[in-house]
Every structure is written in C-alpha cells, then in structure tokens.
C-alpha cells in the first residue's frame, strides 16, 4: 500500500513537472510581452507630439533619441537587454544577430502569407537566455521617414542623408514589418 502511494505521488510529480515548466514559460512570455507592447505607443505619442510641434525634421530626433532612451530606461529597470532591429536598418547598430535575422525573415514570410504584422511575436529559450521579439508594423505615419522616395519630404531626406549615410530603412509600405523590438533575458 505504502509503495503504491509513493509511486502514485511520483507519477503525479512527473506529470506536473512539465506543466510547471510550461506555466513558468507562460509567465515569462506574459511579462516580456507586456514590456515590449508598452514601448511602441509611447514612442508613437512622442513622434506625433514632435511632428505637431516642430515638424518632421525635428521628429527625427524622437525616433533617433527617444526610442534608444526608452529602451535604456526599461533595460535599467528590468535588467533585460532591449533594442530595435531591422533587416533594412537605419541605425548602423540596429543590425540583427543570427536569431533575430531568422525571426525577422519569418515575420516577413508570415506577412506575405496574409498575417497582420501587429500580431507577430516570437519567444524562444536559447542556452539559458529567454529571447523575445515583437514586430513593429509600418503605419501611415511612418511613411514620411520610411516610405518610398516620393513620400519623404525633401528636407527630411536631406537630414536623413546627413545623419545616416548608409540608411537602408526606406521603401516600406503600410502593413510591412519595419523591424522589431528584441528582448534578451539571461537571468530567468
């Protein structure tokens, strides 16, 4: 009787372990997603405020300084690494690593197959590091700085050329994946 009980307990424990691991992973996802989702609306608000106050050229500073600043603040608060990456980057440092590149390529394929870029995310545990990416969709307001040549005003073009001589972040259309927020958590 006794051995049967403990065997039963063992069985329950064995069944519960993967479930617990799964629940822990779900909690990680919820927590990480919440942080990744909070940033874009704040940035959009900042962009819109700058555009209304000083026009497009001065709004360049919002994408240039505010976004990295926000990422830095969240990084300091959470201890996670947070940055923006793109397959066609403007900031020379926004080059994706191998995992990020594969995920961005997958995002593009999913959008080409009809998915809504706003819904795309990816999470994976690699070598004790929790990695997460959330796609940043191109919206109409992004086109004056990331759209086709005809959509970017001349003064914005000049400023962008001056600041980013190797700029690749143009030619986007609404709905396309402009890039992604990428989060790395090594202490899980």
Report the interface residues with ligand HEC, using CB under 6 A: 44, 47, 56, 59-60, 63-64, 68, 84, 86, 89-91, 94, 136, 138-139, 141-142, 144-146, 169, 178-179
Q: For residues 82 and 142, which CB has a smaller minimum distance to ligand HEC in the complex? A: 142
Q: For residues 111 and 169, which CB has a smaller minimum distance to ligand HEC in the complex? A: 169
Residues 6+ apart with CB under 8 A from 125: 25, 131, 188
The overall longest dimension of the chain from CA atoms, in Å, is 84
The CA distance from 126 to 98, in Å, is 12
Min separation Cβ 134 and ligand HEC, Å? 11
Closest CA to 167 of 150, 183, 140, 149: 149
Task: Read off the DSSP letter of residue 107.
Answer: H
Min separation Cβ 63 and ligand HEC, Å? 3
The residue behind tokens 């690699």 is 126
CB contact at 8 A, 69 and 139 = no
Q: For residues 75 and 139, which CB has a smaller minimum distance to ligand HEC in the complex? A: 139
Min separation Cβ 12 and ligand HEC, Å? 47
Min separation Cβ 10 and ligand HEC, Å? 50
Q: For residues 28 and 118, which CB has a smaller minimum distance to ligand HEC in the complex? A: 118
């Amino acid at each position: 009787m006794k051995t049967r009980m403990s065997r039963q307990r063992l069985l329950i424990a064995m069944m519960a372990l993967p479930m617990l691991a799964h629940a822990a992973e779900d909690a990680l996802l919820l927590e990480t997603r919440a942080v990744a989702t909070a940033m874009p609306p704040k940035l959009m608000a900042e962009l819109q405020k700058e555009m209304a106050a000083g026009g497009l050229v001065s709004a360049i500073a919002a994408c240039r300084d505010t976004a990295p600043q926000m990422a830095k603040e969240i990084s300091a608060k959470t201890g996670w690494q947070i940055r923006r990456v793109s397959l066609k980057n403007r900031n020379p440092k926004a080059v994706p690593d191998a995992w990020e590149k594969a995920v961005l390529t997958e995002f593009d394929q999913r959008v080409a197959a009809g998915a809504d870029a706003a819904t795309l995310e990816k999470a994976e545990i690699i070598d004790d590091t929790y990695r997460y990416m959330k796609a940043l969709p191109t919206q109409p307001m992004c086109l004056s700085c990331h759209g086709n040549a005809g959509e970017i005003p001349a003064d914005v073009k000049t400023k962008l050329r001056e600041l980013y001589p190797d700029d690749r972040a143009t030619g986007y259309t609404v709905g396309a994946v402009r890039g992604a927020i990428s989060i790395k958590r090594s202490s899980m």
